[in-house]
Structure 1
Amino acid sequence: MTAVVETPDTGTRSVAWRGGFGRLWGAAVLSSFGDALRKAALPLLAASLTDDPLLIASVTACGYLPWVVFGLLGGAVADRVDQRRAMWMVDVVRGVLVAAFAVAVALGHATIGLLIALALLLTTLQTLFDNAATALLPALVARDALGSANARLLTGQQFAGGLLAAPAVPFLMTAGPGLPYAADAATYLVAAALVASLRVPVPERPPRPAGATLRSDIARGLRALWQDRVLRGLCVATALGNVGIGALIATLVVLVTHWLDAGSGGYAAAMTAYAAGSLLGGALAGRLARRFGRVRSVFVAGTAQIAALVAMGTVRDLTALVVSMTLFGAMGMVWNVSSHTLMQQRPPAAMLGRVSSAFRTLAVAGAPLGAVLGGAVAALWGPNTPMLLAAALFALSVVALAPVLKSTGSVPESTDSGQTTRGAR
């Protein structure tokens, strides 16, 4: 287990860089850099292949759809296998797939159908990888340092993936249209080597009930999520918000290039602002959690994101978009750090993969719907209207948190001290 150190000014504990966490952090950050290159380049590539906003949005939608189909299965498998081995093997396969795609793009064989197929395959593999990673982190980090570890992981991923990668995409695409994807393939393979080097004991799991199947394991994970009032409410709120995020992500390139007429440079500026805001949010997440509790931090973050989305959809100015994306990114990081930490602290260790997969599957299920809705709304009423749709959905997600806020009262739902308020079941 990675050592933890005491933070003098707050008394909470912070994860140390040495040991297994450092390698896991390095693998996650490096892989995020490559992923960001690919994800930023794909909408631009799609926009160069078609002018139809609905087709462009379909590429994003298919990047979420496998969570709906395979997410629960990925969590059940993650609780049965060696999570470290599953992660590095998945990264190797993803590296090979993206390398083949890079060759296709370089040779001029890219089509919308190929983009959709790549999105489907990569996200299908991600369902196993992400659930295994969620379950692996508590094996590397002390329970009372999970909040700090999640903040460092997510902040590092945003720094590499947004602040460093997004501005590089236009230059890489100018040098060669396949270069962003070739770089992504390389990061997958290096990340696989880092994860494979981890020395993590295979977790001891209680004996499986006689006749236990993947289906019954999935059902137990769903029940555990539903019976936890905090996680249930947070899951509903996240699902509603993700419908809005799906609309935002799928049509942001259309907003920037068509409504603002800011071109690929404006798109890179918006993505960089989001990443910079995420770094700020990573620094704020722990302070807000200590002050308000993690669920209240999510409520504050969601409320601020509503204001940012309204500004995006009503102010036709690139500077206003950059400021709004900065705020949206900061509050999104606060939301993510708190939800990740709660998801790792509240369930039994042997069910982390299944509970996290149930949470993610239900939460992410709205994103492909949001992407399609965003594309349709943009086509019917203009490229700025998906942002207003997203604002309305975030308003609903904030409302969905109200019952959880009442049930938790003034007691922090979870802190980094290792104590978790379970509440009524």
Structure 2
Amino acid sequence: MTAAQEASAVRVVPAWRGGFGRLWTAAVVSRFGDALRGAALPLLAASLTDDPLLVASVTACGYLPWLLFGLLGGTVADRVDQRRAMWAVDLVRAALVAGFAVAVALGDASIALLLGLAFALTTLQTLFDNAATALLPSVVPAGALAGANARLMTGQQIAGGALGAPLTPVLLAAGAAVPYAVDAATYLLGALLLGGLRTEAPDRPPRPAGSTLRAETAEGLAVLWRDRALRRLCLATTLCNVGMGALIATLVLHVTGWLGGGDDAYALVLTAYAAGSVGGGLLARRLAERTGRIRAVFLAGLVQTGCLVVMGTVHSLVATAGAMAVFGVMGTVWNTNQVTLMQERAPEGMIGRISAAFRTLAVAGAPLGALLGGAAAAGIGLNTPALLAAALFACAVACLARRIN
């Protein structure tokens, strides 16, 4: 797809009425509930045990299923009716979280139960997220994909970052089980919305006789590898996620240690990043209209690299907050156009598998980056992780530059 073709494909604005409105609302409501649970679970874990390893294990269980089942979830998403799969997953998640809320209310919660819940919910998420990515092209016109992805990501940023996480302490004050009860209700509402979604069945090529999940997963990876643009985009995204892991894991040390700020300063930097991420939804489609998707991603990565260099070299809280705001804007530009390009270029019936490859590598990159960032901060200096992230983003940009040239 040429830059001109890409630009002409992004001028349609998705209509809120009908399928997209239901899908958007279900996704945003679900992200709100996820943010509540994500903020409340570590606090509950810390109240149940003073063992740091056990507390950290609750978070780790939220990553592990992606590494174990992420690719499989994408293959299953390509096999089944995606709308029904998402509906069924939301019903199961609603039941699991509702049961957990009852256990918390009765004082029967345990670390083992927290670990099991985190693992089960993320396992189900591997199917849900890949099915949602594969379903969107059948809900909106091809030319509206960029706008639809931007609106989805912006809505989820607002629901999760601006509403969900800050509201958690208020709900916890009303009762330890309240955030989980609200989370269960959001899953149920999502299931009701998805149940009323009407889409045409995707035109999938018939599977060969005796085809297995393993063979279909391998086929998806082979298609991804053969597509030069997607292959380089996947590699660039993985490098960026390693850099993001290094930055986010040590950001509190960067602000409170290297910059000498307090808790309020750290909150300011996080708020700047969240606000920028929301604002990026307004820019993503317009930039792609002017440059094409690959160049929009390239420019976003280039600006993000500069932001990281500023963070790692300029000893100023104001500069760091400003850099994080711009970094958030360009992060949404990158994510929106990366997902849209993947949806546009993936062959019919293979979006789930290719989406799964991107997500699995992204999840694998984050904890690796966190370890690298922690080691760099401890061994060299608290500003080093930002510079390490800048180097990784620069490598990602170089990968994309080869595709553009």
* Distance change (3 Å), C-alpha of 1:377 and 1:42: farther
Are 1:37 and 1:180, in contact at CA under 8 Å, matched by a contact in 2? yes
User: In the alignment, which residue of structure 2 is the partner of 1:416?
Assistant: none
Amino acid at match of 1:22: G
Work out whether 1:191 is the aligned partner of 2:182: no
* Distance change (3 Å), C-alpha of 1:11 and 1:69: closer
User: In the alignment, which residue of structure 2 is the partner of 1:395?
Assistant: 394
* Distance change (3 Å), C-alpha of 1:147 and 1:391: same
* Distance change (3 Å), C-alpha of 1:11 and 1:93: closer
Are 2:93 and 2:187, in contact at CA under 8 Å, matched by a contact in 1? yes
Superposed CA deviations along residues 108-161 of structure 1, whole A, max 9, x for unmatched, are: 777776655444332221111111111111111111111111111111111222
Are 2:10 and 2:145, in contact at CA under 8 Å, matched by a contact in 1? no
Are 2:85 and 2:128, in contact at CA under 8 Å, matched by a contact in 1? yes
Alignment of 1:99-118 (within 5 A): 99-102=98-101, 116-118=115-117
Alignment of 1:324-335 (within 5 A): 324-335=323-334
Work out whether 1:361 is the aligned partner of 2:360: yes
* Distance change (3 Å), C-alpha of 1:277 and 1:107: farther
Structure 1 residue 38: deviation in Å?
Answer: 2.8
Are 2:10 and 2:143, in contact at CA under 8 Å, matched by a contact in 1? no
* Distance change (3 Å), C-alpha of 1:190 and 1:22: same
Structure 1 residue 79: deviation in Å?
Answer: 1.0
Superposed CA deviations along residues 14-59 of structure 1, whole A, max 9, x for unmatched, are: 111100110001001111112222334455666776696x877665
Once residues 317 and 285 of structure 2 are traced to their aligned partners in structure 1, the CA distance between those partners, rounded to angstroms, is 31
Once residues 16 and 366 of structure 1 are traced to their aligned partners in structure 2, the CA distance between those partners, rounded to angstroms, is 35
Amino acid at match of 2:238: A
* Distance change (3 Å), C-alpha of 1:388 and 1:37: farther
Which sits farther off after the overlay, 328-337 or 166-175? 166-175
Once residues 255 and 182 of structure 1 are traced to their aligned partners in structure 2, the CA distance between those partners, rounded to angstroms, is 36
Work out whether 1:230 is the aligned partner of 2:229: yes
Structure 1 residue 362: deviation in Å?
Answer: 2.8
Are 1:78 and 1:132, in contact at CA under 8 Å, matched by a contact in 2? yes
* Distance change (3 Å), C-alpha of 1:238 and 1:380: same
Which sits farther off after the overlay, 252-261 or 226-235? 252-261
User: In the alignment, which residue of structure 1 is the partner of 2:211?
Assistant: 212
Which sits farther off after the overlay, 129-138 or 253-262? 253-262
Amino acid at match of 2:355: S
* Distance change (3 Å), C-alpha of 1:226 and 1:177: same
Are 1:61 and 1:250, in contact at CA under 8 Å, matched by a contact in 2? no
User: In the alignment, which residue of structure 2 is the partner of 1:85?
Assistant: 84
Structure 1 residue 296: deviation in Å?
Answer: 1.4
Amino acid at match of 2:77: A
Count of residues in correspondence between the two structures = 395
Work out whether 1:68 is the aligned partner of 2:67: yes
Alignment of 1:179-328 (within 5 A): 179-252=178-251, 262-263=262-263, 268-313=267-312, 319-328=318-327
User: In the alignment, which residue of structure 1 is the partner of 2:161?
Assistant: 162
Once residues 83 and 275 of structure 1 are traced to their aligned partners in structure 2, the CA distance between those partners, rounded to angstroms, is 30
Once residues 147 and 217 of structure 1 are traced to their aligned partners in structure 2, the CA distance between those partners, rounded to angstroms, is 28
Are 2:91 and 2:187, in contact at CA under 8 Å, matched by a contact in 1? yes
User: In the alignment, which residue of structure 1 is the partner of 2:6?
Assistant: none
Work out whether 1:133 is the aligned partner of 2:132: yes
Once residues 220 and 101 of structure 2 are traced to their aligned partners in structure 1, the CA distance between those partners, rounded to angstroms, is 38
SS in 2 for 1:145: helix
SS in 1 for 2:209: coil
Amino acid at match of 1:29: V
Once residues 365 and 379 of structure 2 are traced to their aligned partners in structure 1, the CA distance between those partners, rounded to angstroms, is 21
Structure 1 residue 252: deviation in Å?
Answer: 4.1
SS in 1 for 2:123: helix
TM normalised by structure 2 equals 0.85
Amino acid at match of 2:262: A
Once residues 51 and 256 of structure 1 are traced to their aligned partners in structure 2, the CA distance between those partners, rounded to angstroms, is 26
SS in 1 for 2:306: helix
User: In the alignment, which residue of structure 2 is the partner of 1:124?
Assistant: 123
Structure 1 residue 331: deviation in Å?
Answer: 0.8
Amino acid at match of 2:13: S
Are 1:239 and 1:363, in contact at CA under 8 Å, matched by a contact in 2? yes
* Distance change (3 Å), C-alpha of 1:376 and 1:321: same
User: In the alignment, which residue of structure 2 is the partner of 1:151?
Assistant: 150
User: In the alignment, which residue of structure 1 is the partner of 2:28?
Assistant: 29
Amino acid at match of 2:244: I
After superposition, the CA RMSD in angstroms is 3.1
User: In the alignment, which residue of structure 2 is the partner of 1:338?
Assistant: 337
Query: Which structure: greater helix fraction?
Result: 2
Superposed CA deviations along residues 390-423 of structure 1, whole A, max 9, x for unmatched, are: 23322222222221121xxxxxxxxxxxxxxxxx
Are 2:272 and 2:321, in contact at CA under 8 Å, matched by a contact in 1? yes
What are the ranges of 5 or more consecutive residues in structure 1 without an aligned counterpart? 1-9, 407-425
TM normalised by structure 1 equals 0.82
Amino acid at match of 2:127: L
Amino acid at match of 2:301: G
Amino acid at match of 1:358: A
What are the ranges of 5 or more consecutive residues in structure 2 without an aligned counterpart? 1-8
SS in 2 for 1:198: coil
Structure 1 residue 237: deviation in Å?
Answer: 0.4
* Distance change (3 Å), C-alpha of 1:268 and 1:32: farther
Superposed CA deviations along residues 167-218 of structure 1, whole A, max 9, x for unmatched, are: 3234334444444333222212211111111122332322211221111111
